[in-house]
Chain A
Amino acid sequence: MGQSPSAALDRESSFSHRFGFLSSSSLGSSDGFSDEILANRDFTAEIPDECLAYVFQFLGPGDRNRCSLVCKRWLCVDGWSRYRLSLDAQSEIEASLPSIFMRFDSITKLTLRCSRRSISLNDGALVAISVRCQNLTRLKLRGCREISDKGMSTFAKNSKNLRKLSCGSCTFGAKALNAVLDYCSNLEELSVKRLRGIHDGAEAIGPGTAASSLKTICLKELVNGQSFEPLVVGAKNLKALKIIHCLGDWDRVLQLIGNRNRNGKENLHLNNYNSNGNNDALMEIHLERLQVSDIGLSAISKCAKIENLYIVKTPDCSNYGLVSVAEHCKLLKKLHVDGWRTNRIGDEGLVAVAKHCPNLEELVLVGVNATHLSLGAIASNCSKLERLALCGSGTIGNTEIACIAAKCMALKKLCIKGCPISDIAIEALGSGCPSLVKIKLRKCRGVSCEAGEWLREQRGSLVINMDACEVDGGFEASVSNGGIHEVGVDYPQVVSQVVDRDASTSSNGRLALLRSKFGLFASRNFVACTFRRWSNNEDSFNGNL
């Protein structure tokens, strides 16, 4: 952003012609101007276009659109300084496209979105756009059902600088994607969702000229997942692979990836931890609702550089596969497992993770029956663990939380959802996990509001996010049988948990103290007050800004 040496020049050429007599006195001095004149001056005219454009960068598209209506200069400046545009891609827009792209001549990121109710723009319009947007680096298409293979091919020919393509709910097919991958040799990210134009017997989709540039591939809800196999295997420098709910034989694909580069000469010089690994750049794999089994996981284990692994709702994966990954992927930092309550992944797999993956920073377990055996091991051995989430598991109770509290020294964020823990677990957290910054509790019916309040008092700096105790306006008649009954429903449950699962000795006494301190049968109004107090206290707790 260069500044012209003479500010006076800018002023004289400014749009606001009120003051043609502007002196060449330096900026900032108000001598020569009366207050009245100052009050009517357009100061925006005195900053160069580049500065005005910089101001616009702090505005969203809505505000920018309104700025464009202020005056012609603002229209112009906004036009050339807009890099990102999101258009309503209906067929009627075609007539306006020439003027739109004359006005916005620097677009690099374009979104064309068409709702289901409208007819989208067609091939001709898309090609016209590609001719005008020579610097397009990112394109997002949503619901552009009138665009065919031919249109996409021509578009691709005109868009050599494309780095990212994301298409969802479109109807073109394999030919279109192959064209993109052939012409756009700098393509780094490809995301395909619900592409309906790929029929049985369609050609396979290969990486084309983008084989070495592709870094991220995301495939979602594709019926013909197998058409994409050559693409996934052929993208040699792939860093992240996400496959969600696609039909296909992904075990085979993962095996091919796992065996990639294995026979190359480079392998001889690897500083592998074992001879099993390869030189693959793959760092992140996300598998969700797929036909993938332990064979696939074992194949993944050959990618020694894997740091993030998401295994979500894949019922054919078991402990065996997780053990295999853990043993060979020692750089693992993030692990998400959603066992879908099939009980095939549990302690055995997680103990292996504890043993072999000391770099683990984040662990999320959903519907996985882990117990203190594995959680304790992870807590002890994964000394870098900072984020832990445990959801929907019937085996995670007070013992497990006590274990975590005692051993997770680096833990900063903890989330527990829908697990049978009780106030005893909260007590354990009162004194454990020294690094804890934030805790979130959802749908843990055994945990009372009073316990949350207690924890808040114990650990002043901890941010606690709990289910809001219901502020029921209609519940004014609080201390009635109805009131006691509702609160009482929780109590027996808690008591039985104390009896069954209590490992720590003195907590009975402490629990009693807790109860008497806050009054178990406190009216709903008390709870409501507590909630309001929390929300006011939240105010002073936001240290992490």
Chain B
Amino acid sequence: MGSTSTKIKLRTSDQKVFEVEKAVAVQSQTIKYIYENGCPDSVIHVHSVSGDILSKILDYCKKHVNSAAGKEDISPEELYEWDANFVKVDQNTLFDLILAANCLKIESLLDLTCQTVANMIKGKRPEEIRTTFNIKNDYTIEAEEAVRRENKWAFDMLGGVGTMVIEELADDTMSKCVTNTKSRVCVIAANQIVMMRSISKLANKKSIDVYKQPQNPTTPRIKESVKQRNVGTGFIELFFHFKCKM
């Protein structure tokens, strides 16, 4: 009724029933809507989600609700790490999570999972993307060439177009620049010390292409995550994964 531990029952597609606290369940806008407009006592069917996936999702929701409510003593960085580990799953599960988060309308989970997939795409050449996801190439050679030609007209890399160059900035100033910039491309000069944690978190959120001029000495962290890509002007394209060591 009005008790703090109102429970909601959820039945999945494979007939599993979960009983969860209302506060956790209504992280899903879909469930919230049904609960508030339907009959709150009966079971809510989530027919497009399986028990395994729903179980994972409820873990996620619970963690986030508890952290927001202060029930769990967890810092923003720790929650970020927890999220990063949450999505260290196989592709099967990951895409199921995307579908479920979409269906259940859980925005932060959808962001997290889609960002993870985006990270698997960043910096890869088309053939590498196909390999990663087992996508069949249905282009003819001519069609692919035509698209490539067209793509050349669209600015996508260095060339001074709305490019932000970072040089001689403190780490938090740089973080702020990355947050506030309207650039889609960010170039980090050789002598700029980069703390991966801050730059990766922000670049992830803003879909910025980040390039770094190689420097000596390179901190070990940068070495881990840098892959050599020849982008024409001696810069290294940095791309970020959740696996990147913080």
Contacts and interface: CB of A to CB of B under 8 A. Distances in A.
A39 to B, nearest CB: 8
B135 A28 contact: no
B153 A100 contact: yes
A69 B134 contact: no
A539 B198 CA distance: 10
Nearest to A38: B92
B91 interface: yes
A193 interface: no
B126 A29 contact: no
Given A26-B49, A42-B133, A42-B134, 18 more contacts: A5-B48, A16-B134, A18-B136, A26-B50, A27-B99, A39-B134, A43-B134, A45-B135, A47-B99, A47-B102, A48-B102, A54-B110, A57-B114, A62-B209, A65-B156, A88-B152, A538-B193, A539-B195
A99 B150 contact: yes
Contacts of B136: 15-18, 42, 71
B173 interface: yes
Most buried by A among B121, B184, B209: B121
Interface in A19-72: 26-30, 38-48, 50-51, 54-72
B118 A55 contact: yes
10 contacts: A3-B102, A15-B136, A27-B96, A51-B102, A51-B114, A60-B185, A66-B124, A71-B135, A88-B152, A545-B175
A7 interface: yes
Interface in B42-101: 47-53, 76-77, 91-96, 98-100
A542 interface: yes
Interface of A: 1, 3, 5-7, 15-18, 26-30, 38-48, 50-51, 54-72, 74-75, 85-88, 93, 96, 99-100, 103, 111, 113, 438, 440, 463, 465, 535, 538-539, 542, 544-545
Nearest to B211: A62
Contact of A65 (B103, B151, B207, B208): B151
A1 B98 CA distance: 12
B214 interface: no
B150 A100 contact: yes
Interface stretch (B1-9, B17-25, B137-145): B137-145
Contacts of B32: none
B117 to A, nearest CB: 5
Contacts of B148: 69
B218 interface: no
Contact of B170 (A3, A46, A463): A463
Nearest to B210: A60
B188 to A, nearest CB: 15
Contacts of B151: 65, 68-69
Interface string B115-126: 101110111111
B122 A63 contact: yes
B53 A60 contact: no
A338 B48 CA distance: 62
Contact of A3 (B48, B94, B201): B48
Most buried by A among B135, B137, B197: B135
Q: Chain B interface secondary structure, helix, strand, loop or mixed? A: helix
B13 A27 contact: yes
Given A59-B121, A61-B155, A71-B138, A440 B207 contact: no
Given A58-B118, A463-B172, A51 B99 contact: yes
Given A16-B136, A70-B135, A87-B154, A545 B121 contact: no
A413 B119 CA distance: 34
A45 B185 CA distance: 29
B222 interface: no
Nearest to A40: B134
A16 B138 CA distance: 9
A29 B52 contact: yes
Contacts of A43: 91-92, 94-95, 133-134
A57 B150 CA distance: 20
Contacts of B149: 96
Contact of B77 (A30, A47, A69, A545): A545
Contacts of A38: 92
A111 B159 CA distance: 14
Contacts of A6: 48
Given A16-B136, A65-B154, A46 B95 contact: yes
B14 interface: yes
A59 B207 contact: yes
Given A54-B114, A55-B114, A44 B133 contact: yes
A48 B103 CA distance: 11
A545 B76 contact: yes
A438 B172 contact: yes
Contacts of B119: 58
A7 B198 contact: no
Nearest to B231: A62
Given A65-B154, A69-B126, A86-B162, A15 B138 contact: yes
Interface in B18-37: none
B244 interface: no
B150 A103 contact: yes
B155 A70 contact: no
B161 to A, nearest CB: 6
Contacts of A465: 170, 173
A15 B155 CA distance: 29
Nearest to A72: B138
A85 B154 contact: yes
Identify the 9 closest CB pairs spanning chains A and B, nearest first.
Answer: A28-B50, A58-B118, A62-B156, A26-B13, A69-B126, A3-B103, A465-B170, A43-B95, A28-B53
Given A59-B118, A61-B184, A28 B138 contact: no
Contacts of A70: 126, 129-130, 135, 137
B48 A7 contact: yes
Nearest to B13: A26
B99 A66 contact: no
Most buried by B among A7, A27, A74, A463: A27
A26 B126 CA distance: 31
Contacts of B213: none
A27 B99 CA distance: 9
Contact of A26 (B48, B133, B157, B170): B48
Given A59-B207, A66-B126, A28 B49 contact: yes
Contacts of B225: none
B32 to A, nearest CB: 16
A544 B171 CA distance: 11
B153 A93 contact: yes
A367 to B, nearest CB: 22
Most buried by A among B49, B134, B144: B134
A62 B133 contact: no
A42 B135 CA distance: 6
B39 interface: no
B49 A59 contact: no
